[in-house]
Structure 1
Amino acid sequence: MLPLSNAHPEAAIVGRIWRPGLGPCLVAIRDERAIDITSPILPTMRDLLEHDNPAATLRGAPGEDIGALTDLVAASHEAPGDDDLRLLAPCDLQAIKACGVTFAASMVERVIEEQAAGDPARAEAIRGRVGSHVGDSLSGLKPGSPQAIKVKEVLQAEGLWSQYLEVGIGPDAEVFTKAQPMSAVGWGAVVGLHPVSKWNNPEPEIVLAVTSRGEIVGATLGNDVNLRDVEGRSALLLGKAKDNNASCAIGPFLRLFDGTYSLDDVRGAELALEVIGDDGFTLEGHSSMAEISRDPADLVAQTIGRHHQYPDGFFLFCGTMFAPVKDRDGPGQGFTHHIGDEVSISEPALGTLRNKVQLSTDCPEWTFGTAALMRNLARRGLL
């Protein structure tokens, strides 16, 4: 299955690949062919996105046809080595940021994680108690509104107020650093779980590409791997829960905004998730951007501005409404990953991001960082 089988034929689609003997390259996808457009003018994804009209620049960029998309996908699926042909995450020099607790459904689950102190065995009973007080009352509630303030007062009186509700319905969004520049993995790579975690899940999300000027210029898919027990013990462990070796997957490609695709399409996106385990277990879920509590443009505005600049731009995870409760290992235990799970995140306009789950300690180490990229581009005469 091609990761872009449902994409619009005129879509402006760009990605990054590793070419043997060369290194990271920019590729335009044209007629299901991969065209290497790397040049001194476009040495990085960051440089492409900083153009006034990235989609037009992409369409006008000359390049070398390096093969069919099917061949690139097949090569990426075979656990390639350091210098083998493969898909990379579409971001390079950009910061990788994420927003949390942007959907009512996942907001309630974060409260449950906190009250359970990261213990999945306690979650079922707490879910019933919290649900009896909260239910769906948070759906459609505008963060920071007078109505949200009233809900906060009620929940505080019931002893159910939480730091997760604060960022979920309060005026300020949760924005954190998901991963370091150059550390995200792409389609076909293994995605990592910290070995201390025993309760975790995938998080299917839309990821926005934002320039240094704060302009949203495209979108892709991401898996914001979540360690529910680690973060549930303390929100101060967010860094340990979120930023680990291979714990951030982005891809398969970046679709640029143009006449065929815009931020309004992102606002109406419907993400589907499928997990297939070696044990025969399957899990399906979805995340509808129409149900997000904060508009994507507001999330970007809270991330960049006079208070914080990103000279190389950033990729921003928008959050998810997906919080699985389907029992896997026993009644009341809910869902957690098993090693070898295949995770597929799909959206008709953006394709499919597929990765297999492994422990972070068993994933390939991240060794190619920003300094390595600069040396590589300089050696190739691209800087």
Structure 2
Amino acid sequence: MPADAQQATLVGRAWVEGQGAILVKVEGDALVDLSALAPTCSALLERPDAAAAVRAHAGKRLAALGEVLANSGADRRVADLPWLLAPCDLQAIKASGVTFVASMLERVIEEQARGNPALAQSVRKEVVAVIGDDLSKVRPGSPEAEQLKQVLVSKNLWSQYLEVGIGPDAEIFTKSQPMSAVGTGAEIGIHPKSEWNNPEPEIVLVVNSRGETVGATLGNDVNLRDFEGRSGLLLGKAKDNNASCAIGPFIRLFDAKFGIADVRQADLAMLVVGPEGFRMEGASSLKQISRDPLDLVAHAIGPNHQYPDGLVLFLGTMFAPTQDRFGPGQGFTHAVGDAVAIFTPRLGTLVNRVNTSDRIEPWRYGVTALMRDLARRGLL
């Protein structure tokens, strides 16, 4: 939970057997039903007074917060207790890529290595020797960025990743479908044929249909480096499979205690613990993002693209692991059974365990099932 949870306006979704997905808020040490305030998270965030309305709402107590958190682990769920789902529901799940210099360089390396981890170390040395390892002073879309592009083109090192990293247009893509994200405690999926992949600890902005950024949460935008490195046209397979992203544990709504200024200053920590005892720590700081978070929102929604149910937007990560795991020069890749924890003090901790997407419980609860359950409960 956030370090200042008692001051935070936190909303999420919980699975309740016999009822389905229920919108909830955190109130002290309990989860409280918000269904009478709004049937869905998307509808709640359309309210101009969402944070104040949530704080004022006196709903039914569902369960103790600690019990629900403990019951959210995929391997230990008890059917008669709620467990947490991803806090968003009908919103589009979008992501922005190549928004940090460190990860931008690694994307160039992936491309140059054609997705082969064995080649990454030598390619990394070659790329850094030509373009350096500090592009943080280059403002995307600026005349200086255009000059750098021309230099790199002349050296045959221009890349699709540099184009979106320092060019005028941000990369905004569809990460996965509405309601397909998993919540804290759930298994998160990698494609069974992927041999080079990594977690991506990120902050996720929550945006309503009017383009207003109304809250934030944590996300893990798992990346298959080998698939995407082979071809940018494999982005769909690299990014969208069963349980391919986790979001949670709760959305922290913007209010007088927390807002976009706090997001801009956030530092994320990440810990991966493997079943064989492997341990890797990482960090990602929003202070080093190359495009402002609200600028990324403006690239995602506006006159050219609308989202009637709102969207959630992964902001990208500066974390690109190079720590060797299975052999010298091969860098990092996941193993089945890895536990991944992503933490920042004002948003709490998102924890998931890695499995292959074909072995994780299939995604079956979509919009049709949600609407059926809401109608049965008299909420539509």
Structure 1 range deviating more: 75-84 or 296-305: 75-84
Question: Is there any run of 5+ residues in structure 2 with no aligned partner, and where?
Answer: none
The partner residue of 1:27 within 7, 18, 24 is 24
The partner residue of 1:274 within 268, 271, 285 is 271
Query: Is 1:333 paired with 2:325?
Result: no
Query: Is 1:320 paired with 2:317?
Result: yes
Letter paired with 1:65? R
Query: Is 1:13 paired with 2:16?
Result: no
Look up the match of 2:44. Answer: 48
Question: Is there any run of 5+ residues in structure 1 with no aligned partner, and where?
Answer: none
Letter paired with 1:89? A
| Contact 1:192–1:245, Cα closer than 8 Å, also in 2 | yes
Mapped to 1, the partners of 2:314 and 2:8 lie a distance apart of 21
Query: Is 1:302 paired with 2:332?
Result: no
The partner residue of 2:64 within 47, 64, 68 is 68
Mapped to 2, the partners of 1:252 and 1:265 lie a distance apart of 18
Change (3 A) 1:21 1:101: same
| Contact 2:33–2:62, Cα closer than 8 Å, also in 1 | yes
Letter paired with 1:303? A
Look up the match of 1:230. Answer: 227
Instruction: Give how far 1:8 is off.
Output: 3.9
The partner residue of 1:207 within 204, 208, 218 is 204
Instruction: Give how far 1:375 is off.
Output: 0.7
Q: Deviations over 1:140-191 (max 9, x none)?
A: 3110001111111111111110000000000000000001001100000000
Mapped to 1, the partners of 2:195 and 2:314 lie a distance apart of 24
The partner residue of 2:108 within 100, 108, 111 is 111
Mapped to 1, the partners of 2:116 and 2:379 lie a distance apart of 51
Q: Deviations over 1:51-108 (max 9, x none)?
A: 0021111111221112221100111125338886210000000000000000000000
What is the correspondence of 1:146-157 to structure 2 with a 5 Å cutoff?
A: 146-157=143-154
Counterpart secondary structure, 2:358: helix
Mapped to 1, the partners of 2:365 and 2:315 lie a distance apart of 26
Instruction: Give how far 1:133 is off.
Output: 1.5
| Contact 1:48–1:57, Cα closer than 8 Å, also in 2 | no
Mapped to 1, the partners of 2:255 and 2:2 lie a distance apart of 19
Look up the match of 2:73. Answer: 77
What is the correspondence of 1:117-128 to structure 2 with a 5 Å cutoff?
A: 117-128=114-125
Q: CA RMSD in A?
A: 1.2
Structure 1 range deviating more: 372-381 or 69-78: 69-78
Mapped to 2, the partners of 1:122 and 1:373 lie a distance apart of 46
Mapped to 2, the partners of 1:71 and 1:160 lie a distance apart of 53
| Contact 2:71–2:78, Cα closer than 8 Å, also in 1 | no
Instruction: Give how far 1:310 is off.
Output: 0.3
Letter paired with 1:358? N
Mapped to 2, the partners of 1:249 and 1:299 lie a distance apart of 20
Structure 1 range deviating more: 115-124 or 15-24: 15-24
Change (3 A) 1:84 1:69: closer
Mapped to 2, the partners of 1:346 and 1:187 lie a distance apart of 12
Counterpart secondary structure, 1:345: strand
Length-normalised TM-score, structure 2: 0.98
The partner residue of 1:36 within 22, 33, 37 is 33
Mapped to 2, the partners of 1:349 and 1:5 lie a distance apart of 5
| Contact 2:63–2:82, Cα closer than 8 Å, also in 1 | no
| Contact 1:23–1:83, Cα closer than 8 Å, also in 2 | no
Q: Deviations over 1:7-47 (max 9, x none)?
A: 342111111000121111111101121111112x4100011
Look up the match of 2:155. Answer: 158
Mapped to 2, the partners of 1:31 and 1:103 lie a distance apart of 37
Structure 1 range deviating more: 78-87 or 269-278: 78-87
| Contact 1:194–1:360, Cα closer than 8 Å, also in 2 | yes
Report the identity percentage: 60
| Contact 2:2–2:347, Cα closer than 8 Å, also in 1 | no
Change (3 A) 1:278 1:253: same
